[in-house]
Chain A
């Protein structure tokens, strides 16, 4: 019979209309500013710098400038720190990322040999000034390893394991060297 399908459709929509009032799980959207859906673990948008304990002293970045050179849109700007004698120090004096230029390609993360730069999940970045306020400096970019663990637990665990392994190897190497030196001395 013509129209039976229409009636079936009307029944379905009526079920939605009434059901969405008392069945919360029917609702597909959340009330955004008040409720937020936690981002997925693999979600990534803009890079940040990882530090271990102290945001100033323990920044992992050694200012090797590989990311600056690799960055396709060239949104990273690094100036290496120099001590009083003018000798280069393994620390960035200036580390700026222009997130209005950044295209979230993650190449900086992939090329970094020190696991110093990682991808963040913070997405609410609207600012009043589109130029100055979106140029993130070193202080703004520095975030703790704990935060990294919080947003990407799996990846951060792997990174920590790798760093530990490297440190162990370096210690073993140093130990071997020391022993060799002692041997030679003896």
Chain B
């Protein structure tokens, strides 16, 4: 294909424009280096889109939080404060890089790198659109969770190497929190894996293709176990990425900035950025698992390119995170643990059972069978939610302590 033909082809298929352009570039390089160029192009795409998205999200977050608190938010740099992220970036770059005298230098240096690296790697397995998966791994979901485990190491490295009590306290809180919330995070995704029958993210997206009654999408969030799973996933992902209300590892009112206390300048910016990239990656996985990935919500909207659907879902999920951040205060450490172990874990285990029931009740064909099946599964989860919630929120009655041996 010559150049004009490629461009005309790309323009004719807006949905596949990136795929066609990439194929067009690959055609023009020698066959030996095609895999390398292919990987390079994917990396360039990810590295161009996501840091830009990160910059936009920081601005969006500050604007929305401002509005939630009845303020304007940043509006000085550029039109509507649009260049605020650039100003922030320049500020971060020219700040002094301070390493504490007693710090373990190499670990202090490596921690932000180690946090950033898996955050970007996790983005490589996500299907961004039709035929737009950078790496089609058979076990993409496992790859994502395995990379998520890097977070704990990096945060603890940061906390330990700083030689600062606040850093260490923050890091220990982070470890406790991340390990606790890893379990509901993984458990909430297992029903999806069971129903899709695959660990590959493109396959999970394909399992959600099509529409009920030619109207409602077959997304997993519209099933009872999908509703429960997506809420569990949302909460667990929020805790995994240390977002408010689960930002106790940073907890500035108690421990200054937790593991970030001794970081300044560009290293701090790297921490900040990788936190957001990790949040984006977790949200992208959430979109893929429960919100149908790049599929359009209605059949008559299928003409909109698939990647636009993916990114608009991603941005709406990020908006939800910001909204929750603007609403809820930070929760206490013991409440955090109670929520994970006494509420999310039992509920996600129950959700597995409901998913099994959903699977085996597929063939109920008596009149109203499918509706009954939906309501039954939903009722089981709702009742469990109510019972567990009451147990969680029932406070212990306090008694005055009696000193028996003093008197």
Chain A residues engaging chain B, CB cutoff 8 angstroms: 1-3, 6, 9-10, 12-14, 16-17, 19-21, 26-29, 31
Chain B interface extent, by class? 20 to 34
Contacts of B385 in A (CB 8 A): 1-2
Q: Which residue of the partner chain, among A13, A20, A27, contacts B323 with CB atoms under 8 Å?
A: A13
Whether B67 and A16, one on each chain, are in contact in the complex, defined by CB atoms closer than 8 angstroms, is: yes
The 5 closest A-B pairs by CB, nearest first: A2-B389, A9-B327, A13-B327, A13-B68, A17-B67
Whether A3 and B328, one on each chain, are in contact in the complex, defined by CB atoms closer than 8 angstroms, is: no
23 A-B residue pairings within 8 Å (CB atoms): A1-B385, A2-B343, A2-B385, A2-B386, A2-B388, A2-B390, A6-B327, A6-B328, A9-B327, A10-B327, A12-B327, A14-B323, A16-B68, A17-B64, A17-B323, A20-B70, A20-B71, A21-B67, A27-B70, A27-B71, A27-B72, A28-B71, A31-B75
Whether B328 and A16, one on each chain, are in contact in the complex, defined by CB atoms closer than 8 angstroms, is: no
Contacts of B75 in A (CB 8 A): 31
Contacts of A16 in B (CB 8 A): 67-70
Give B386's nearest chain A residue, CB to CB.
Answer: A1
Q: A68 to B72, alpha carbons, bound, how many Å?
A: 46
Whether B71 and A2, one on each chain, are in contact in the complex, defined by CB atoms closer than 8 angstroms, is: no
Give B69's nearest chain A residue, CB to CB.
Answer: A16
Chain B residues engaging chain A, CB cutoff 8 angstroms: 64, 67-72, 75, 323-324, 326-328, 343, 385-386, 388-390, 392-393
Contacts of B69 in A (CB 8 A): 16
| A28-B71, A31-B72 as given contacts; A10 in contact with B324, CB under 8 Å | yes
| A9-B328, A16-B68 as given contacts; A2 in contact with B323, CB under 8 Å | no
A81 to chain B, nearest CB (A): 49
Whether B67 and A20, one on each chain, are in contact in the complex, defined by CB atoms closer than 8 angstroms, is: yes
B236 to chain A, nearest CB (A): 15
A175 to chain B, nearest CB (A): 64
Contacts of B71 in A (CB 8 A): 20, 27-29
A11 to chain B, nearest CB (A): 9
A177 to chain B, nearest CB (A): 67
Give A3's nearest chain B residue, CB to CB.
Answer: B389
Give A9's nearest chain B residue, CB to CB.
Answer: B327
Whether B68 and A17, one on each chain, are in contact in the complex, defined by CB atoms closer than 8 angstroms, is: yes
| A1-B389, A17-B67 as given contacts; A29 in contact with B327, CB under 8 Å | no
Give A10's nearest chain B residue, CB to CB.
Answer: B327
Contacts of B393 in A (CB 8 A): 2
Q: A12 to B70, alpha carbons, bound, how many Å?
A: 12
Q: A19 to B71, alpha carbons, bound, how many Å?
A: 11
Whether A26 and B70, one on each chain, are in contact in the complex, defined by CB atoms closer than 8 angstroms, is: yes
Q: A21 to B67, alpha carbons, bound, how many Å?
A: 8
B61 to chain A, nearest CB (A): 12
Contacts of B389 in A (CB 8 A): 1-3
Give A23's nearest chain B residue, CB to CB.
Answer: B70
Q: A17 to B386, alpha carbons, bound, how many Å?
A: 30
A17 to chain B, nearest CB (A): 5
Q: A14 to B67, alpha carbons, bound, how many Å?
A: 9
Q: Which residue of the partner chain, among A2, A6, A20, A31, contacts B392 with CB atoms under 8 Å?
A: A2
Q: A32 to B323, alpha carbons, bound, how many Å?
A: 27
B116 to chain A, nearest CB (A): 31
Q: Which residue of the partner chain, among A2, A3, A6, A28, contacts B70 with CB atoms under 8 Å?
A: A28
Q: A20 to B75, alpha carbons, bound, how many Å?
A: 15
A63 to chain B, nearest CB (A): 47
